[in-house]
Amino acid sequence: MKSKRAPVKQPISKSIIRVDSRAKLRGEAQYVSDWEFENMLYARTFRSTKAKAKILSIEIPDIPEGYFIVDKNDVPGVNRMRTVVSDHPLFAEDNVQYIGQPILLVVGPDREGIDSIYSQIKPEYQEETPLLTLEEAEKHSKVFTDYNYKKEDPEKAFANAHRIIEDSFSTGYQEHVYLEPQGIAAEFKDDTLFVYGSMQCPFYVEGALMDAMDMPKEKIRVVQTVTGGAFGGKEEFPSLNGCHVAIAAKKTGHPVSMIYDRDEDILCSTKRHPSKVRFKAALDENDDLVGLDIDVLLNAGAYNGLSPVVLQRAIFSATNVYHIKNLNVRGRNYMTNVLPSGAYRGFGAPQTIFAIEMLFYNIAKKLGVDPLEYKMRHLLKQADSTCTGGCVREEVKMPEIIEKIVKSSDYYNKLKNNKKYQGIGISLFLHGCGFTGKGESVINGKIELIKNKDIVTFKVSSVEMGQGAETVLRKIVAETLEIPIEKVIYETVDTGKVPDSGPTVASRTTMIVGGLLQKTAMQMKERWDDLENLELTNNYKQPKYLSWDDENFRGDCYPVHSWGANVAEVEIDPVTYELTVKKLHAVFDVGVPIDERALIGQMEGGVVQGVGWATIEVMGSDLGRLKQANLTDYKIPTSMDVPEIDCDFVLNPYEFGPFGAKCAGELSFVGSPPAVAAAVAHAMGKAINHLPITPEVLMEMDNED
């Protein structure tokens, strides 16, 4: 745990004690499951046990007084969850499309009473043939979304190719395992609806409630409660369970709380999209990669939801840190009768970045050249065009990042070690900061900054969910105004009190919302001594240099990127094939760290989540039912599984970020899976084209010879 790293020499990077940590340590932080309301009822969701079926009838037992059934007939507004594609019914209508799909709620004052009613509900189904896998869905062309973009002249590149190499990669599900399961509660006070819960995007929930409840926004207050981790899992999902409790509160006239237990949470909440990525690579006479045909397939599950935007990030990240002259990129979301996939840290990018990193590795091996050297021959540089023909405007510090990590990990010396079952691997990666394409101008994020004598309150809809937003945003305001952080108040995120500064997603909180706060704080500073009270608001404006054509996917899909490299060292047990990650090295360019310790904590956590996805986090489905439906079967890394992590930064201030900061949260995740895969490939002398890398896979691989 000793770091050789020198601390970042920027005043803003100096670490402070996180403002939310004391209450959490003392067990005093109030998560939604700790909230109690007078005359509160509990709710439990009755779910489909069939992957695809018509609902012929539902037999409901006699309901004792005080208990209620809430279903599709109780929805005051539209029976669909509002999101990018509003196709998910709040409650099933005449059919079910996946195991776990909500059909109705049983609501009442006592959990045992609810369970008793629940066990007597008998739906009669007429089963239909489900589509269960990505392969089946592709065979049957069940496509939700089909995107395509081109760059230059891929046909010509392939026609003139000296060599053409084909390869394909796949990845599995991943469950978020935020430690606090999904939880939400609703009550009416007079005619105003209050929804309280664990969530990333209170204004998404508000929008969903407006549709479901047929109520104006003025009558809806969505209040975020202390959120025990999210990682994307509480991005769109609370719009569904939020509508459920609101409808139940309206029908029953009582406050209603619905806290999932872990098994239910795993069974029905969204997952990272399983993927398949196929490449055809055109190499010229120097063996340089000059053309790529990329085909990205995601398993969206039974409803499309926000999968189209996940697919966009997947296809815009598919060339990673490389400059490929000619491109033909296709991306498809497939419908299957399995629970819907959704947002998860990295948002489609980890799948394609793993794929292209291993493509480069495999090609280099085929050519007999060093994989890192081959990758470096293709690195993007400043002023190069991006995959969508935008411009890389920032200085690309990848050479410095690589030099640093190669040295600190002693990469090349360890690479010479040809001992079987020991390996070292490197990954290079980037992450596009903020929303994809025009996203930020659509959201048009707004913030408020209020001075009352020497106290400054800021109002934003960005939530603290463990990532440190509260501390970082307070710090940005305090440092800009040159006042103590204790004088800065972060207003409770309540849609009735704060403006919509956008959802807490896409690694946008520090750079976009923090940037807007800094700009506003600078305006406040100019008038600081003149006025006792001052209220300022600002809307986010995209930097003028950005241009994006949403129809043809041309231009700058992101305003700027964060960059990084990871090195993993692994060992494989020759008898059990158990894979151990012995050491991880990480170097990141996130612009300028806002609070170094908070950032390292976030980065280490992301790196470890990535290792989990790449190794032990196995989740499969059998006939539409998840095979790993609890934490006994679905393993995430424990303290025993985690290696020493060396985390370092390269400074590269971004003009439009607060104190030079860019994005960080998702960047932390994308690098470790391909680094581990490359290390395993080195250890085994075999290509790694699939994640997770399980002992079974390694054993089979070893026995192939």
Partner 1 sequence: MKIDFTLNNKEISIDVDANRRLLDLLRDDFGMKSVKEGCGEGECGACVVLVNGRSMNSCMLPAGAIIGKSVVTLEGFKHTERYKAIESGFLKAGSVQCGFCTPGFVISTESLLNENPHPTDDEIKEALSGNLCRCTGYNMIVKGVRLAIEMGEGLW
Site of interaction with partner 1 (CB under 8 A):
1, 15, 17-18, 20-31, 33-34, 176-181, 226-231, 261-263, 465-468, 597-598, 600-602, 604-609, 630-632, 636-640, 642, 644-645
Q: Which is nearer to partner 1, 166 or 263 (CB)?
A: 263
Question: How far is the C-alpha of 47 from the C-alpha of 339, rounded, in Å?
Answer: 12
Q: Which of 697, 402, 448, 454 is nearest to 578 (CA)?
A: 697
Supply 585's token pair: 């090295």
Q: Shortest Cβ distance from residue 612 to partner 1 (Å)?
A: 9
Residue 661 vs residues 391, 507, 513: alpha-carbon distances, Å: 20, 11, 11
Q: Which residue has the tokens 């279903």?
A: 71
Residue 135, Cβ density class (10 Å: 0-12 exposed, 13-18 middle, ≥19 buried)? middle
Residue 312 vs residues 303, 345, 533, 542, 572: alpha-carbon distances, Å: 17, 14, 44, 19, 36
Supply 284's token pair: 């010229």
Sign of CA dihedral 152, 158, 161, 163: positive
Question: How far is the C-alpha of 81 from the C-alpha of 240, rounded, in Å?
Answer: 6
DSSP assignment string, 549-590: ETTTTEE-SSS-EEEEEEEEEEEE-TTT--EEEEEEEEEEE-
Residue type, 609: Q
Q: Which is nearer to partner 1, 418 or 638 (CB)?
A: 638
Question: How far is the C-alpha of 304 from the C-alpha of 88, rounded, in Å?
Answer: 8
Q: Which is nearer to partner 1, 429 or 669 (CB)?
A: 669
| Contact status, residue 299 vs residue 274, Cβ threshold 8 Å | yes
Q: Shortest Cβ distance from residue 610 to partner 1 (Å)?
A: 10
Q: Shortest Cβ distance from residue 597 to partner 1 (Å)?
A: 4
Q: Which of 38, 273, 279, 307 is nearest to 171 (CA)?
A: 273
Question: How far is the C-alpha of 206 from the C-alpha of 218, rounded, in Å?
Answer: 10
Q: Shortest Cβ distance from residue 643 to partner 1 (Å)?
A: 9
Q: Which is nearer to partner 1, 13 or 518 (CB)?
A: 13
Q: Which is nearer to partner 1, 228 or 301 (CB)?
A: 228
Question: How far is the C-alpha of 527 from the C-alpha of 524, rounded, in Å?
Answer: 5
Q: Which is nearer to partner 1, 22 or 527 (CB)?
A: 22
Q: Which is nearer to partner 1, 17 or 623 (CB)?
A: 17
Question: How far is the C-alpha of 189 from the C-alpha of 193, rounded, in Å?
Answer: 7
Q: Convert 234-253 to b/e letters by CB count within 10 Å (16 or more is b).
A: bbbbbbbbbbbbbbbbbbbe
Q: Shortest Cβ distance from residue 40 to partner 1 (Å)?
A: 12
Supply 560's token pair: 């700027």
Q: Which is nearer to partner 1, 17 or 442 (CB)?
A: 17
Q: Shortest Cβ distance from residue 456 to partner 1 (Å)?
A: 24
Q: Shortest Cβ distance from residue 385 to partner 1 (Å)?
A: 36
Q: Shortest Cβ distance from residue 305 to partner 1 (Å)?
A: 23
Q: Shortest Cβ distance from residue 224 to partner 1 (Å)?
A: 13
Q: Shortest Cβ distance from residue 263 to partner 1 (Å)?
A: 8
Q: Which is nearer to partner 1, 326 or 427 (CB)?
A: 427
Q: Which is nearer to partner 1, 20 or 128 (CB)?
A: 20
Question: How far is the C-alpha of 539 from the C-alpha of 4, rounded, in Å?
Answer: 42
